[in-house]
Structure 1
Amino acid sequence: MTAQTIDTDTVTTLVESACAAPSLHNAQPWEFRYVRNTGVLHLYADLARTLPRTDPEKRGLHLGCGAALFNLRVAAASAGLEPVVRLLPDPNDMNLLAEVQLSGTAHPDTALARLRPVIHCRHSSRFPYRDVEIPVAVRERIFGAARTEGAQLLFPSAWHVQEIVELVRDAEGREAHDPKLRSETVQWTRTEAVDPAEAADGVPAEAFGPRQRGTTAPVRDFTAGRPMPQRGWASFEKNPHIALLGTDHDRPADWLRAGQALQRVLLQATMDGLVASMTSQPLEWPETRWAARDPLSAMAHVQMVLRLGYGPEGHPSPRRPVAEVLDIV
């Protein structure tokens, strides 16, 4: 198979896999354009899906699009293709986040391809996890997943985990006093069940998880002060396994790399039987983002806070139809 002979069905399947990636508030801020005569798939930022108050620098947008890009690479390798990626290929068009040259190869990346079965199994789990250790071998595999994509992953010390929990609580307090930020959260989250056929984005009520008795785990509360009587309460793990994903630099290209690293970590964790949730809340405020750094590590810029462990699978969030995000020319 060569770039010129990739058919529409294959391209559609690749983009469908890409769109299973996580994104801030499940806004899915991506668009794709496939150019038949060049065999190049273009990834664009969808500026209609930005969160200007929550994500003013569009760092979260780049992370989400980077995660989608990684899923695309996995699906391409599984289809026997070699995806050659150029990040930010046009300095005059910063909305063009990546170009992916798709061509046939006799030696597809098997390390990528083996992750394909779990792309649609990965869902954020905001439920309580069991208070059990993550084996060293499993930790090493997820560390390696981040390193392969040019990022760092670390499990901070117990005292810094508590600091992260406090930073999440602090960020929630800041959000509670910011009407524009609360309004943005309300726009992208739903406190009541909605017919799946009518929802294509945002965080559904079923994915919120229960309220915490006490605050021991860094889990974002999407209610934004809205009543939700049907939502229960639960005790979460006392010793959560918190990981920080970070990079040496903090530019748009680094955010895209971090998004790819994040998705590789999440897929590897899913393969190893772990569930995960993410929160960027303490990273959305400059003061608390700096404090999220582990001072005992060399990590320069924290890009995401992950909670990993063993527990119930998360509820799937809705996805936009591929026809809405893919243009073939």
Structure 2
Amino acid sequence: MITTGFTITDLRIAVAAAVRAPSVHNSQPWRFRLRDGGIEVRIDPGRLLPVSDPGRWAARMSCGAAVFNLRLALAVAGTPAEVRLHPYPQDLDVVARLVPGRPRPATPAERDLYAAVTRRHSNRAPFWPDPVPADARWRLVEAARAEGTWLEMVIGTAPVQAVAEIARSANRVLERDPDYRAELAGWIRTAPAVDGVPVGSGGPVGEPQDLLPQRAFGVRTRAPGRDFEPEPLVAVLGSTGNGLTDQVVAGQALQRVLLTATDARLAVSMFSQPIEVPRAREQLRLALGKYGTPQMVMRIGYGQPGWPTPRRMVDDVIDAVR
């Protein structure tokens, strides 16, 4: 038997998980609404990044990650959702609509990933030298594949150096734009806030010897000898296409990969600079020799617990029930 629709209680429980999804600059570009028994996820036009994300790629990725958290919360509650992406051709800001599917108990994997939702956050600090074992890498690759995307592990000094140079070059392009720098600065928080990146969560200030580019969120200098790892495990998430729906799918896959990493006690930081610069994105695809479109670059490893970023309250992101 399929239930008639989700309730406001279902919505609130699910949104409490959804708001823990990642977003560029912790901009949290999402809103949620209960409409005709279904939960809708909409891009919040007031929280877009017009300079670094003029095409709304990052907003759709973030909303896709929120959709995955919604799916987990609803599955753990006993009513998995059926998801339709971009359900209204006349309103593409609604990226997804979730309606109740057939009730069933949550699987152990769903419970494990749901338990990781509140523990997941980007770790921008240096990682320990411990290598990520093959079985953990396999789990991450399978997590991406389960959502219809691919995850390419970049192995070897030369390939990692090539990806790092693409990322650094893209970062230089972005930082030459004063509007980009002003937009980034607008999301740095030096006082308690419900969004943006607190300076304490921003990681250490970047230095010339760093392999991968750090955004200028933090103010902490690192201790002597506390450099970033010289040969990090780098992974690139990609999708078969790059349409609006492909980007939402990639966001769901990104969150599944991140939660799988958290469940495996791995730390992750993300680098979107080579995705934000079109030429760099194409260079990255060619360097990997992959079909499709790169959607996110990640650094994966083991490290001390990082500093989570704040989130808005559930009531602040829910629109009136319709």
The TM-score range, normalised by the shorter chain, is over 0.9
Q: What value does the CA root-mean-square deviation take over the aligned residues?
A: 1.9
* Higher mean displacement: 294-303 or 7-16: 294-303
Q: Contact conserved, 1:81 with 1:102, CA < 8 A, in 2? A: yes
Secondary structure of the corresponding residue to residue 246 of structure 1 = strand
Structure 2: give runs of 5+ residues left out of the alignment.
Answer: none
The answer (yes or no) to whether the contact 2:75–2:105 under 8 Å persists in 1 is: no
Pairwise CA distance, 1:14: 0.6
Partner of 1:29: 29
Does residue 172 of structure 2 align to residue 173 of structure 1? Answer: yes
Partner of 1:186: 185
Contact 2:188/2:198 (8 A) holds in 1 = yes
| Greater mean alpha carbon deviation, residues 111-120 or residues 6-15 | 6-15
Maintained 8 Å contact 1:82/1:109: no
Q: Distance in 1 between matches of 2:27 and 2:247?
A: 17
Range 232-241 or range 76-85, more displaced: 232-241
**Alpha-carbon distance change, 219 to 20 in structure 1, aligned in 2, over 3 angstroms:** farther
SS at match of 2:95: strand
Which stretches of structure 1, 4 residues or more, deviate above 6 A after TM superposition?
Answer: none
**Where does residue 290 of structure 2 map in the other structure?**
298
Kindly tell me: are residues 110 and 39 of structure 1, through their superposed partners in 2, closer, same or farther at Cα, counting changes over 3 Å?
Answer: farther
Give secondary structure in 1 for the equivalent of 2:127: coil
TM-score, normalising length: structure 1: 0.91
Percent identity, aligned pairs only, is: 37
Distance 1:126 1:31, change over 3 A: same
How has the CA–CA distance of structure 1 residues 282 and 215 changed in structure 2, closer, same or farther, with 3 Å as cutoff? farther
C-alpha change, 1:219 and 1:71, in structure 2 (3 Å) is farther
Task: Give ranges in structure 1 of 5+ residues lacking alignment.
Answer: none
Letter in 2 for 1:114: D
Counterpart for residue 136 of structure 2: 138
Cα distance between partner residues in 2 of 1:259 and 1:315: 22
SS where residue 289 of structure 2 aligns? coil
Per the TM alignment, residue 47 of structure 1 is displaced from its structure 2 partner at its CA by 0.9
| Correspondent of 1:309 among 296, 301, 305 | 301
Structure 1 counterpart of 2:94: 96
**Any idea what SS the aligned residue of 1:256 has?**
helix
What is the Cα deviation at residue 104 of structure 1? Answer: 5.5
CA–CA distance in structure 1, aligned partners of residues 101 and 298 of structure 2: 34
* Range that drifts further, 309-318 or 104-113: 104-113
Question: 1:221-240, CA deviations, whole angstroms, 9 ceiling, x for partnerless residues?
Answer: 224xxx94x54454110110
Offset, 1:95:
0.6
Q: CA deviation at 1:4?
A: 4.2
1:276 matched to 2:268: yes
Q: 1:222 aligns with which of 195, 213, 216?
A: 216
Matched, 1:324 2:291: no
Structure 2 equivalent of residue 57 of structure 1: 55
* CA drift at 1:17: 0.2
Rounded to whole Å, the distance in 2 between the matches of 1:81 and 1:317 is 29
> Size of the alignment, in residue pairs?
318
1:313 and 1:104 mapped to 2: Cα distance? 38
1:163 and 2:162 are equivalent in the alignment:
yes
Q: 1:294 Cα shift?
A: 5.1
Question: Partners in 1 of 2:124 and 2:211 — Cα distance?
Answer: 10
* 1:275 counterpart letter in structure 2: A
